[in-house]
Amino acid sequence: MSYTIKNVAVAGAGGNLGKVVTPTLVSSGKFNVRVLTRQGSSTAGLPEGVEVVEVDYSSPASLQAALAGQDAVVSLITTAAAMTQLALIDAAIAAGVRRFVPSEFGSNLANPKTRASPVFKDKVATEDYLVEKAQTTNLTYTFFYNNAFLDWALRANFIVDFTQPNPQVLDCGDQPFSATTMQSVADGLVGVLRHPAETENRAVYVHDLVTSQNRLLALARQVRPDRTWAPESVALDDLVAVAEQRMARGIFDFETIGPFLKRAIADPECGGVFTGRVDNELLGVKGRRTISSWSC
């Protein structure tokens, strides 16, 4: 059955991604945007005219009331609270919402090796829950995969630590991976909501370019030729092994999570190169430049 999406509820609108997605949804002029936020959260910076509704994620009634009249939910909720989305999905079904886009926006969870990673356990559980509910209710879903956030990862010195003279590169540093700016994720989300039939009950793949750590380092050398750039190679397997030991000891901080994320992004077996399957054209994502050859 065909349907259009006009009323869009956004959860987690004030976060890293939400600050880009929310204004983009509003400025597209295609949607009425309602922001769901927890009591006491800051709403500073939200675009003017956006409706803000406070919700209590532990109250089904609060969530259902907040979703009344909405056609879609875009969840941008922080990873640590991913399981909160199960209540949001239940409320969406009860309120008659048609599309749910869970908070993913990263690695290719359709890849078996990535799907088995312990850091994606809650995201996978959310996907499984949506797939199950889509079989028995009117709720549909779209999973959004964009691999690494290019801008966020560069600012956070996550892919390459530009503050160091000896930044770490994984193995040879030449492994290609897809990367996407948060603006392109936002543009792609507009595309998903404008194409509900084509994006129903499936994953969409979006990227701006395929790059590598060495390619990014080459750009850094061009920008700062005055600095020392002497990358040090580390084996990705060794990094992950240390992270596994930390996890076994119950330590679940970013030092533990980071190597698993790096594996999902750049390990050639983890499906982090999207060339050949991207939905950029359908979703109106322009993309940038691709490097076509690599060797390791």
Binding-site string for ligand NAP from residue 200 to residue 219, where x marks contact by CB under 6 A and - marks none: --------------------
Interface stretch with ligand NAP, choices 23-31, 63-71, 100-108, 273-281 (CB under 6 A): 100-108
Q: Shortest distance, CB of residue 73 to ligand NAP, whole angstroms?
A: 13
Q: At residue 149, what are phi and psi to the nearest 5 degrees?
A: -70, 120
| Beta-ladder partners of 168 | 232
- Give the residue, chosen from 4, 27, 59, 78, that forms a contact with ligand NAP under the rule CB under 6 A: 78
105 touching ligand NAP, by CB under 6 A:
yes
86 touching ligand NAP, by CB under 6 A:
no
Q: Give dist(CA 168, CA 183) in Å, integer.
A: 27
State the amino acid at position 205 in one-letter form: Y
152 touching ligand NAP, by CB under 6 A:
yes
Contact predicate 158/257, CB 8 Å:
no
Contact predicate 231/161, CB 8 Å:
no
Handedness of CA 180, 186, 187, 188 (dihedral sign): positive
**How far, in Å, are 13, 26, 43, 150, 186 from residue 47 at the CA level?**
10, 7, 9, 24, 15
Interface stretch with ligand NAP, choices 102-110, 161-169, 222-230, 281-289 (CB under 6 A): 102-110
- Cβ-based nearer residue to ligand NAP, 43 or 138: 43
Count Cβ atoms below 10 Å from residue 294 Cβ, excluding itself: 16
**How far, in Å, are 114, 132, 141, 174 from residue 82 at the CA level?**
17, 17, 16, 32
Binding-site string for ligand NAP from residue 51 to residue 70, where x marks contact by CB under 6 A and - marks none: ------x-------------
Binding-site string for ligand NAP from residue 109 to residue 148, where x marks contact by CB under 6 A and - marks none: ---------------------------------------x
- DSSP class of residue 222 equals H
Q: Shortest distance, CB of residue 250 to ligand NAP, whole angstroms?
A: 20
Size of the site for ligand NAP (CB under 6 A): 24
- Cβ-based nearer residue to ligand NAP, 178 or 199: 178
- Cβ-based nearer residue to ligand NAP, 93 or 148: 148
Q: Shortest distance, CB of residue 229 to ligand NAP, whole angstroms?
A: 23
**How far, in Å, are 82, 169, 170, 229 from residue 214 at the CA level?**
33, 8, 10, 11
- Residues near ligand NAP, by CB under 6 A: 12, 14-18, 37-38, 41, 57, 76-79, 81, 84, 103-106, 148-149, 152-153
